[in-house]
Amino acid sequence: MLTKVIAQSSVDHFRKWFERADKIVIVSHVSPDGDAIGSSLGLWHFLVSQNKDAYVVVPNGFPGFLKWMPGSKDVLLYDRYMAFADQLIAEADIICCLDFNALSRIGDMAGSVEASPARKILIDHHLYPDDFCRITISHPEISSTSELVFRLICRMGYFPDISREAAECIYTGMMTDTGGFSFNSNHPEIYYIISELLSKGIDKDEIYRKVYNTYSECRLRLMGHVLTRMKIYEECHSALLTLTVEEQNRFNYVKGDSEGFVNIPLSVKGVRFSCFLREDTERDVIKISLRSVGDFPCNKVAAGYFNGGGHLNASGGEFYGTMEEAAARFEEALKAFEPALRRDDL
């Protein structure tokens, strides 16, 4: 049995909307990850099974290792089909906002979503959600939005209608947002939910392989290069990885090739804070990814030094300037957080 988690009033409220709605649009964040696509498609499969006219719209493309997911070909990319997507958003009865906590996280779609007269529901697990939806289901203590989608569908009484396809998508989101159940994954109910998803016929081992064992040769060689240049700050138990445009070109970088790099230094004994800086060719900024283990709040570094935010152990932001300046900024942050980082009690 699962505990309730989602407030009864939210479940009842959404069920009322759901029963009367026809057109439902699901939106998720810029550069959608496994949980964004997994939760969106999980919900989408369910809505389609209930004969709803449902669509998933995301701001831009997502990595190749998610493209096997059932329904992924039907995901509309806003940067390619803007006019059509705007029309869907404007005419929707309900807009489901999944895996983000502020309209700024959906980039160019924010204006259309904000302007739409549709009823809006937020289903998310990021801290401090903005108040832009009539129903807000926000649970930062839950490790993925996909898990919340599963819980919501079940609470509405539709567990029997969850298909294998929907279960595969939900499982993928749960798996990717916990690094294959290696962080944020101690809650026993996660494994109860997994057993329920297995009962739908998913092959969790195959899903793992499809997501994690599909690297291109270029990606692996790029990883080798980036790791060779890894900088370790022993006393601060920290590490820094960088990737410039020149290096991206040299290694035939394609979008997504550096996904997950930020986690690798955490496998070095003693390292508990990792930073990855990547020059973004599309937007002329440096994208920052931060990861920590234990109680070190990497989201405070993201917010204080890199115009960003996120979770305690996984956060990110942006920097406007050169790679050298961004690295210097990171070192400034290390100095400021030195007392917390130097602690040896890990």
- For residue 257 the two structure tokens come to 């090739």
- Return the number of other C-beta atoms located less than 10 Å from residue 328's C-beta: 12
Q: Which is nearer to Mn ion, 171 or 330 (CB)?
A: 171
260 binds, among ligand 5GP, Mn ion, none (CB under 5 to 8 A by kind): none
What Cα–Cα distance (Å) separates residue 32 from each residue in 41, 124, 237, 340?
12, 14, 30, 32
Q: Which is nearer to ligand 5GP, 103 or 154 (CB)?
A: 103
> CA 218, 219, 220, 226 torsion: positive or negative?
positive
Q: How far is the CB of 33 from Mn ion (least distance, A)?
A: 7
Q: Which is nearer to ligand 5GP, 36 or 43 (CB)?
A: 36
Looking at 62-70, 210-218, 238-246, 302-310, which segment touches ligand 5GP (CB under 6 A)?
302-310
Contacts of 2-10 with C-beta under 8 Å, sequence gap 24+, read 2/151, 2/154, 2/189, 2/192, 2/193, 3/189, 4/155, 5/139, 5/142, 5/148, 5/151, 6/137, 6/139, 6/148, 6/151, 6/152, 6/155, 7/137, 10/135, 10/136, 10/137
Do 163 and 200 contact (CB within 8 A), yes or no?
yes
Does 309 participate in binding ligand 5GP (rule CB under 6 A)? yes
Q: Which is nearer to ligand 5GP, 102 or 153 (CB)?
A: 102
35 binds, among ligand 5GP, Mn ion, none (CB under 5 to 8 A by kind): Mn ion
Q: Which is nearer to Mn ion, 173 or 265 (CB)?
A: 173
Q: Which of 184, 154, 186, 155 is nearest to 167 (CA)?
A: 154
Does 314 participate in binding ligand 5GP (rule CB under 6 A)? yes
Q: How far is the CB of 136 from Mn ion (least distance, A)?
A: 16
Instruction: Convert residues 103-132 into a mask of x (bound to ligand 5GP by CB under 6 A) and - (unbound).
Output: -----------------------x------
Does 308 participate in binding ligand 5GP (rule CB under 6 A)? yes
Contacts with ligand 5GP by CB under 6 A lie at: 126, 262, 289, 308-311, 314-318
